[in-house]
Amino acid sequence: MSATGKKQVNAGWVVFALAVGGFAIGTTEFATMSLLPFFAHGLGIDAPTAGHAISAYALGVVVGAPVIAVLAARVPRRTLLIALMALFALGNGLSAIAPNYHWMLVFRFFSGLPHGAYFGVAALVATSLVPENRRTAVVGRVFLGLTFATIIGVPMSNWLGQAIGWRWSFGFVALLGVLTMACVWRFAPNDSTHPESSPLRELGALKRPQVWLTLGIGAIGFGGMFAVYTYLADVLSAVTGVSAQVIPVVLSVLGVGLTIGNLLVPVFADRALMRTAGALLLWSAVSLAIFPFVASHLWMLTLDVFLIGVGGALGTILQTRMMDVSGDAQGLAAALNHSAFNTANALGPFLGGLAIAAGYGWTAPGWVGSALAMGGLVLCCVTVVVERGRIGERAANGDRHAMVKQEVDLGA
């Protein structure tokens, strides 16, 4: 069915339903960091030990994204989205009643399993409803749920944790998961799967060099933002010297940057995908390099945090790129994108922490993040060079349509 047919009429509501799920996932992913002192106290453990719960969630994302995408290859997308949100709601509901630290680790891992697969399937559903020249824009709108979570969901969850207890925060996220199930059931199209869909077909994505290159761009280039975000509260306290009440405001500015980036940047990406990705990585490298110089000035730091947040639109661009290079293995490739981002979520803070521990100061993650963004830019350039080689081969074989399509993606 064409993108201007029956599906187009409800595309806005479908995107809204999918974004609600992104809001739920973003809230639990980022709010857990701010709730760490509360559930550490509640479970009778120290903060470093409680931090393992965050790692358990990230591990669940990395494991769950490819496994679920492959095993559920023949499941209709609406059914799969509802099942994933049911799993997500259950995991967060169990986290709310975790009796001890070890069960908390299990439940957080369980909660992370549907994360990557949900966003992957949601992106495929959303892009199926619009013309090809609006794919990145509609993915950006689905991801707005995730960015709004950093502005609204995280502060709300943190407030609940302080006012009536950290367990209620996880319960709140579980309710958001149930709400998403209802919205998806009501608005998402009930399409059947492709008759040739199979786990083996999905695994075919792993044979494609461009899939691995795109994953590398995300895993390395996206790590810079996480390197700074993880230690931003410490920088504000130890270097900028602001009060505790100011810290959540500056953290939310990053979310505003993410939101603006996901609204504006995809418009350019739909015209020249990889050129926009390269420009955004360069943007991130510069804004992260500025971070150490402005850390002692609140207003300049806040502006730089906003600019760093805008660079987070890279996630939307790479989501579309993965769908372009994965051939018939759309589900696995789209889900793997979020495994790459969670790898970045682990790599950036780890390297930033090493720099701080080595005595380079609280602002050192800015330099680390800039280097990671430049690493992503190098991989982006390699991707373009490899792809141009493929364009030449196709031109030699007379495949004009494929050649034009690739030239548009690369911004040629």
The 3-state DSSP class for residue 408 equals: helix
Which of 158, 178, 180 lies closest to 36, judged by CA? 158
User: Are 250 and 390 within one domain?
Assistant: yes
Amino acid code (one letter) for 139: V
Q: Contact 150/26 with Cβ under 8 angstroms?
A: yes
User: Are 31 and 145 within one domain?
Assistant: yes
Which of 174, 117, 122 lies closest to 143, judged by CA? 122
Q: What is the pLDDT of residue 2?
A: 40
Mark which of 146, 178, 197 sits at the end of a domain. Answer: 197
Report field, pTM of the whole predicted structure over 0.75: yes
Amino acid code (one letter) for 306: F
Q: What is the pLDDT of residue 221?
A: 92
Mark which of 178, 197, 216 sits at the end of a domain. Answer: 197
Kindly report the number of other CB atoms within 10 A of residue 234's CB atom. 13
Residue 402 tokens read as 């494929």
| CATH label of the domain that carries residue 238 | 1.20.1250.20
Dump the DSSP string for 319-346. Answer: HHHHHHHSTT-HHHHHHHHHHHHHHHHH
User: Are 283 and 363 within one domain?
Assistant: yes
List CB contacts of 30: < 8 A, sequence separation 6 or more.
149, 150, 153, 154
User: Are 60 and 97 within one domain?
Assistant: yes
Q: Contact 57/109 with Cβ under 8 angstroms?
A: yes
At 175, give phi and psi (nearest 5°): -65, -35
User: Are 283 and 181 within one domain?
Assistant: no
- CA–CA distance from 342 to each of 56, 204, 286 (Å)? 11, 22, 23
Residue 167 tokens read as 């367990």
CA dihedral 337, 338, 340, 346 (to 10 degrees): 170
Mark which of 145, 169, 197 sits at the end of a domain. Answer: 197
Alpha-carbon distance of 394 to 373, in angstroms, equals: 31
**Structural domain of residue 98, as residue ranges?**
1-197
Amino acid code (one letter) for 352: G
CA 58 to chain centre: 11
User: Are 148 and 206 within one domain?
Assistant: no
Residue 49 tokens read as 């030990």
User: Are 114 and 228 within one domain?
Assistant: no
Which contiguous run of DSSP H or E holds residue 217? none
- How many independent structural domains does the chain possess? 2
User: Are 188 and 232 within one domain?
Assistant: no
Q: What is the pLDDT of residue 189?
A: 85
Tokens 């949601």: give the residue: 122
Which contiguous run of DSSP H or E holds residue 206? none
Burial environment of residue 398 by CB neighbours within 10 A (0 to 12, 13 to 18, 19 or more): exposed
User: Are 251 and 342 within one domain?
Assistant: yes
Angle made by CA atoms 147, 57, 345, in degrees to the nearest 5: 55
Residue 207 DSSP one-character state:
G
Q: Contact 348/368 with Cβ under 8 angstroms?
A: yes
Dump the DSSP string for 264-319. Answer: HHHHHHTTSHHHHHHHHHHHHHHHHHHHHHHTT-HHHHHHHHHHHHHGGGHHHHHH
User: Are 177 and 248 within one domain?
Assistant: no
Burial environment of residue 407 by CB neighbours within 10 A (0 to 12, 13 to 18, 19 or more): middle
Amino acid code (one letter) for 149: A
Residue 253 tokens read as 């500015």
User: Are 245 and 171 within one domain?
Assistant: no
Tokens 């141009």: give the residue: 388
Which of 126, 136, 185, 186 lies closest to 3, judged by CA? 126
Which of 133, 152, 110 lies closest to 19, judged by CA? 152
Alpha-carbon distance of 342 to 222, in angstroms, equals: 9
Residue 191 DSSP one-character state:
P
For the chain, the first-to-last Cα distance in angstroms comes to 30
For every one of its 412 residues, what pLDDT tens digit does the chain have, with 9 covering 90 and above?
444 444 444 788 899 999 999 999 988 887 777 677 778 788 887 766 777 787 788 888 888 888 888 888 788 889 999 999 999 999 999 999 999 989 999 999 999 999 988 988 898 888 888 887 788 888 888 888 888 888 888 778 878 877 888 899 899 999 999 999 999 999 988 776 655 555 656 666 677 788 889 999 999 998 888 888 878 888 888 888 888 778 878 888 988 999 999 889 888 888 888 899 999 999 999 999 999 999 999 999 999 999 999 998 998 899 888 888 877 666 777 778 888 888 888 788 888 888 888 888 889 999 999 999 999 999 999 988 887 776 655 555 555 454 445 544 555 4
Q: Contact 280/265 with Cβ under 8 angstroms?
A: yes
Which of 180, 177, 183 lies closest to 93, judged by CA? 177
User: Are 52 and 180 within one domain?
Assistant: yes
